[in-house]
Amino acid sequence: MAILKVQDVSKSYGRIQALNRVNIEVPQGSVFGILGPNGSGKTTLLSIILDVLSADTGTYSWFGAGTSPEIRKKIGSLLETPNFYHYLSAVNNLKVTHEISGRGNDGSEIDAVLKKVKLYERRTSRFSTYSLGMKQRLAISAALLGNPTVLVLDEPTNGLDPVGIAEIRELIILLKEQGHTIIIASHLLDEVEKVCTHVAILNRGVLVTTGRVDEVLVADDSVELSAADNTRLSELLKNFNGVKKVHVAGQFVYAAFNQGTANLEEINRLCFSNQITLNHLILKKQKLEARFFELTADSHANPN
């Protein structure tokens, strides 16, 4: 079941096309990452599905029932760190959040969300004494008031040190295990790879690709080889079964294959049978960063 369906959503700011006919589906129980460089349209998309902004064209639907104030109560969100009072404790800050937003029922729920984010032992400490990671966890606890089905988080690890990033990562995995569907916008490939089950990659407002993380961000096999005539070698490899792309760089020819499919013995046999003697043949793993940059570089968005 799709928790969220976005269909042909576009948004412009004057001549700038922030989103261009974006289509995504978020499965129930997933951690869905919206990944892209800064300025790719991630925050604009989140703002639209949270009714903060209106799309120019297109539609979106939560839980197969459209959108309404009642449906909105099932969604907790963190678009930016809330302005908590530095002199108040975690408990009192969440009481203020409850009074303003109407999210949550009573003090017992505040205790419950603080336990979820592992801040219960520091519930009476002033906000000013918290580390950046603790402050971000408190912000997520505010989004958890009312026990929402879905959490929407915009760059939840932005500005955090490695310890803080690890804390948020562990929290997201825990919340998924507790039954929440989580949508995360991030420009950090490592973050998405480690916590997300599904991903949509945006580049300059265009949806480049979407699907399961282990399918979209799979690292290709890259075979590096050379012969006396690399031009002839590259032409031969273009017709080899399973080759995705062949290019010549410097003194080597590079052939890209899907992960785990490159067979060096078969490549060597092909070359030998075509009277090409290889003087170099090794298998190299393409890094995930290279795969991400390849995807975003190949997308063509509106130049405005």
The encoded tokens of residue 125 equal: 């400490």
Would you list the DSSP string of 80-109?
Answer: S-----TTSBHHHHHHHHHHHH--S-SHHH
Selection from 191, 213, 219, 190 nearest residue 201 by Cα:
213
C-alpha 230/C-alpha 236 separation (Å) is: 10
Render each residue's pLDDT in the chain as its tens digit; 304 residues.
Answer: 899 999 999 999 999 999 999 999 999 999 999 998 888 999 999 999 999 999 999 999 999 998 888 888 899 999 876 789 999 999 999 998 888 877 666 667 899 999 999 999 999 999 999 998 999 999 999 999 989 999 999 999 988 888 889 999 999 999 999 999 999 999 888 888 889 999 999 999 999 999 998 888 777 788 999 999 999 999 999 989 889 889 888 899 999 887 778 899 999 999 999 999 999 999 876 666 666 776 776 544 443 3
Q: What is the pTM of this model?
A: 0.78
Which pLDDT value is given to residue 287?
A: 62
Q: For residue 64, what is the enclosing H or E element?
A: none
pLDDT in tens, 104-120: 666 678 999 999 999 99
The encoded tokens of residue 194 equal: 């480690």
Question: In which region does residue 214 sit, left (phi positive, over 0), alpha (psi from -120 to 50) or beta (all else)?
Answer: alpha
Contacts of 301 (CB under 8 A, 6+ apart): 17, 20, 203, 204, 205, 206
Which pLDDT value is given to residue 122?
A: 95
C-alpha 251/C-alpha 87 separation (Å) is: 64
pLDDT in tens, 211-237: 998 888 777 788 999 999 999 999 999
pLDDT in tens, 144-177: 998 999 999 999 998 888 888 999 999 999 999 9
C-alpha 195/C-alpha 173 separation (Å) is: 6
Q: Do residues 258 and 285 touch, judged by C-beta distance below 8 A?
A: no
Which pLDDT value is given to residue 67?
A: 85
Selection from 246, 222, 244, 228 nearest residue 236 by Cα:
246
